[in-house]
Structure 1
Amino acid sequence: MALAVVVALFVMLSLDALVLHSQDAGQMRFDAAEIQSVMQDENPAADAAIAEPSSIDLLSLISRGGRFMIPIGIMSLLVVALATERLLTLRQSKIIPRTLVDELYAISEPAENFSPNIAFHTCNDFPSPAATAIRTMLLRTGQPIGEIEDAVKETIQREADGHAAPIRWLNLAAAATPLMGLLGTVWGMIVAFHESTTLTADRSRSEQLSEGIYTALVTTLAGLIVAIPAAIFAQYLENRLAKLFNQIEKVAFDLTPRMAHFVGRRRLDHQGMLHNIERAKMNSEPTRPPAPPVPPKVRSEAN
């Protein structure tokens, strides 16, 4: 009898424990499911925030640059205009036409048949810096070769300086534009630190400074964007200018020895006509009238 009571009591306690265990497991399953749903609701929002970063608009950056962007904008227009004009001007067909060079070399072969007047008229048909230098050389026909070469060098240098003047403005833009941008940045930093001394309650000092520095750096960025292409174009155009005028000098010095047999004998006028130097000297000397007869001396006889 006692054994049966003990068994019955053990069975009842086992059933109660089983019921409580099942309830706890259900509660745990419910809590885990609820936590998982909450996490799934929060993750899309976080992913959306990460997937959509704030973008930087170029127009908004330019507008934030303020009045310091005006001179930088003017410099950018100057760089574009000068670079385009120099690229169109410093072409081989404009500086040293290939047809002119071919005809001059054809005239100079053989060397003893070189005709300065034909070369002069050929240069007139192809107006260019190369034609100007060769024409200067031809107008020195009859002079010593050293003087002719010096005249050619001076003419080439003068023409090169004229074509290099616009390139100097590109160098100026490359040097001055970053300084303009730096000036705007320094001014923006001063304003940012000044405004951070008077903050409202809803803004922190770090937020105010970060916004001010972000705005101030815009002018430096704009200055570098203008200066880097300007420096590249200036260097490229200077090298191209030197290359083209070195070719002109080479052609001129190749033709100079052909003029050796004209030294002291013939010269070329500005109409492209050859003249003998001796005859020209005779025609240029004025004819002197004959000297009047010397009257005989009257001797006075002393009495």
Structure 2
Amino acid sequence: MKNSRSILMGVLTFAGLLVLRQQCYAGNDDLASDQMQASIDWMAELQKGGGTGIALLVLALAAVLFVIERLINMRSSNVLASPEVVNVAMAVDPIEGEDAAKTLYQEKPSSFTKVVNHMAEHNEYESSEIVEMAGDLAGRDIESHRRRVYSLGVVATLAPLLGLLGTMIGMIEAFAKFSKLTDSSEAALVLGDSIGKALITTAVGLIIAIPSLAAFHYFKVRLGSLSDKLEADLDRVQRAWFGKKVR
């Protein structure tokens, strides 16, 4: 009987330990699930950043607008011309082809046809002077595109600096609140919450700066490629018009 009771007690004890173990794991699973489901309302947290948060939102909107503007106005067709148009421009008479060049520019507006039209309008000048004026005009068009690309560089520079400024202001406010609390548990909660809010601005600043910087370098490289191609196409036209007299 004693052996039977001992065995029964052992079985009940083991079963109790199993049940307790399952309850502990279930509680841990629920906690992990709650932690995984927790999310950050970035907009709400950013609004708590005050003026810095508003400035970051304005920068983000500006970056989006700059990218859209560059995608529209820096298309290849706005700078270069198709091979067919280049061939037509090469066939224009440099002396009597002013009307033909003007028509070509009106039908196929681009930096290329603009320069060709300018060359035809000033056909009374020496060939070397016409080539120099064409280079200046093409350079001004490319420089105009380059200045607009630098707007993205400004956004990429300002965004992390504004984010850091917001974080520093938030940290100062957090420690100011912390110094006025006497309850250590409450102070820890307040400090953790305040620091979390402060770091949001830095994170948002980097989120804005990284794609802005990537877009800046993309458009910069693309503009260099378009500039080289424009120079090559104009050189073909100048050689067709003036031959060896260009050099």
Q: Shorter-chain TM-score: what band?
A: 0.7 to 0.9
Structure 2 CA distance for partners of 1:36 and 1:151, relative to 1, 3 Å = same
Any unmatched runs of 5+ in structure 1?
1-18, 264-303
**Structure 2 letter corresponding to 1:56:** S
Q: Is the 8 A contact 1:64 1:218 kept in 2?
A: no
Three-state SS of the structure 2 residue aligned to 1:56 is coil
Structure 2 CA distance for partners of 1:45 and 1:260, relative to 1, 3 Å = closer
Shift of 1:200: 4.6
Match of 1:170 among 139, 143, 152: 152
Query: How many residues are aligned here?
Result: 240
Given the alignment of the two structures, is residue 116 of structure 1 paired with residue 97 of structure 2, yes or no? yes
The superposition leaves residues 101-129 of structure 1 with CA deviations (integer Å, 9 ceiling, x where unpaired) of 23223x16xxx998533344433432322
Match of 1:91 among 61, 75, 94: 75
Given the alignment of the two structures, is residue 56 of structure 1 paired with residue 32 of structure 2, yes or no? no
Partner of 2:55: 71
Match of 1:222 among 180, 204, 209: 204
- Per mean C-alpha deviation after superposition, the further-off stretch among 177-186 and 61-70 is 61-70
Given the alignment of the two structures, is residue 103 of structure 1 paired with residue 88 of structure 2, yes or no? yes
Query: Matched residues in 2 for 1:37 and 1:258: separation?
Result: 92
Shift of 1:97: 2.9
Any unmatched runs of 5+ in structure 2?
none
Match of 1:131 among 103, 113, 130: 113
**Structure 2 letter corresponding to 1:234:** F
Given the alignment of the two structures, is residue 46 of structure 1 paired with residue 31 of structure 2, yes or no? no
Structure 2 CA distance for partners of 1:88 and 1:30, relative to 1, 3 Å = same
Shift of 1:210: 2.6
Query: Matched residues in 2 for 1:192 and 1:32: separation?
Result: 51
Query: Matched residues in 2 for 1:190 and 1:62: separation?
Result: 17
Query: Matched residues in 2 for 1:31 and 1:256: separation?
Result: 99
Structure 2 CA distance for partners of 1:77 and 1:113, relative to 1, 3 Å = closer
Three-state SS of the structure 1 residue aligned to 2:35 is coil
Query: Matched residues in 1 for 2:237 and 2:28: separation?
Result: 79
Match of 2:132 among 132, 150, 167: 150
Match of 2:236 among 238, 246, 254: 254
Q: Is the 8 A contact 2:101 2:113 kept in 1?
A: no
Shift of 1:90: 1.1
Shift of 1:206: 4.0
Given the alignment of the two structures, is residue 82 of structure 1 paired with residue 63 of structure 2, yes or no? no
Higher alpha-carbon Rg: 1
Structure 2 CA distance for partners of 1:65 and 1:22, relative to 1, 3 Å = same
Q: Is the 8 A contact 2:94 2:241 kept in 1?
A: no
Structure 2 CA distance for partners of 1:27 and 1:258, relative to 1, 3 Å = closer
Q: Is the 8 A contact 1:174 1:230 kept in 2?
A: yes
Partner of 1:192: 174
Query: Matched residues in 2 for 1:36 and 1:260: separation?
Result: 96
TM-score by length of 2: 0.84
Shift of 1:39: 2.9
Structure 2 CA distance for partners of 1:205 and 1:123, relative to 1, 3 Å = same
Shift of 1:74: 0.5
Shift of 1:134: 1.3
Q: Percent identity?
A: 23
Query: Matched residues in 2 for 1:80 and 1:74: separation?
Result: 10
TM-score by length of 1: 0.70
Over aligned residues, Cα RMSD in angstroms?
A: 2.6
**Structure 1 letter corresponding to 2:236:** D
Query: Matched residues in 2 for 1:79 and 1:246: separation?
Result: 27
Structure 2 CA distance for partners of 1:257 and 1:97, relative to 1, 3 Å = closer
**Structure 2 letter corresponding to 1:215:** K
Q: Which has the higher helix share?
A: 2
Shift of 1:218: 0.3
Shift of 1:191: 1.2
Query: Matched residues in 1 for 2:23 and 2:103: separation?
Result: 89
